[in-house]
Amino acid sequence: MLVTVPGSSSNFGPGFDCLGLAWKLYDRISFEAADRLIITGCEERFRGPENLAYRSFAAAFSEKGLPVPGVRIDFGECSIPVSRGLGSSAALIAAGAVAANVLGSLGMPREELLALCTRMEGHPDNLAPALFGGFTASTCENGKVVTVRFPLHPSLCFLAVIPDFELSTALARQALPETVSRGDAVFQLSRTALLLRAFEEGDMELLRFAMQDRLHQPFRLPLIPGAGEVFAEAGKAGAAACISGAGSTMLIVSDGRERLDTVRRALTARFPRWKILSPEADTEGLRIT
Ligand code: HSE
**pLDDT digits (tens), the chain, 289 positions:** 999 999 999 999 999 999 999 999 999 999 999 999 999 999 898 999 999 999 999 999 999 999 999 999 999 999 999 999 999 999 999 999 999 999 999 999 999 999 999 999 999 999 999 999 999 999 999 889 999 999 999 999 999 999 999 999 999 999 999 999 999 999 999 999 999 999 999 999 999 999 999 999 999 999 999 999 999 999 999 999 999 999 999 999 999 898 899 999 999 999 999 999 999 999 999 999 9
Contact 122, 113 (CB under 8 A): no
> How many Å lie between the centroid of ligand 1 and the Cα of residue 223?
14
* Contact residues for 102 (Cβ-Cβ < 8 A; gap 6+): 1, 288
Q: Whose CA is nearest to atom 5 of ligand 1?
A: 246
* Contact residues for 39 (Cβ-Cβ < 8 A; gap 6+): 46, 47, 48, 51, 54, 72, 73, 74, 75
Indicate the pTM of the whole model: 0.95
Closest CA to 195 of 132, 242, 249: 242
Contact 198, 253 (CB under 8 A): no
Is 108 found in the same domain as 64?
yes
Ligand 1, pocket residues at CB < 6 Å? 10-11, 16-17, 123, 125-126, 169, 172-173, 216, 245-246
Q: Which atom of ligand 1 is nearest to the CA of 176?
A: 6
> How many Å lie between the centroid of ligand 1 and the Cα of residue 87?
9
Is 165 found in the same domain as 121?
no
Is 15 found in the same domain as 115?
yes
Q: Which atom of ligand 1 is nearest to the CA of 89?
A: 8
CATH of the domain at 88: 3.30.230.10
- Determine the structural domain holding residue 86 and report its residue range: 2-150+282-288
Q: Which atom of ligand 1 is nearest to the CA of 243?
A: 5
Is 83 found in the same domain as 213?
no
Which ranges of the chain does DSSP label H, i.e. alpha helix?
A: 52-63, 88-103, 110-121, 127-132, 169-174, 182-201, 204-210, 217-220, 227-236, 257-270
Is 120 found in the same domain as 188?
no
Letter for the amino acid at 143? Answer: G
> How many Å lie between the centroid of ligand 1 and the Cα of residue 194?
21
The total of structural domains in the chain comes to 2
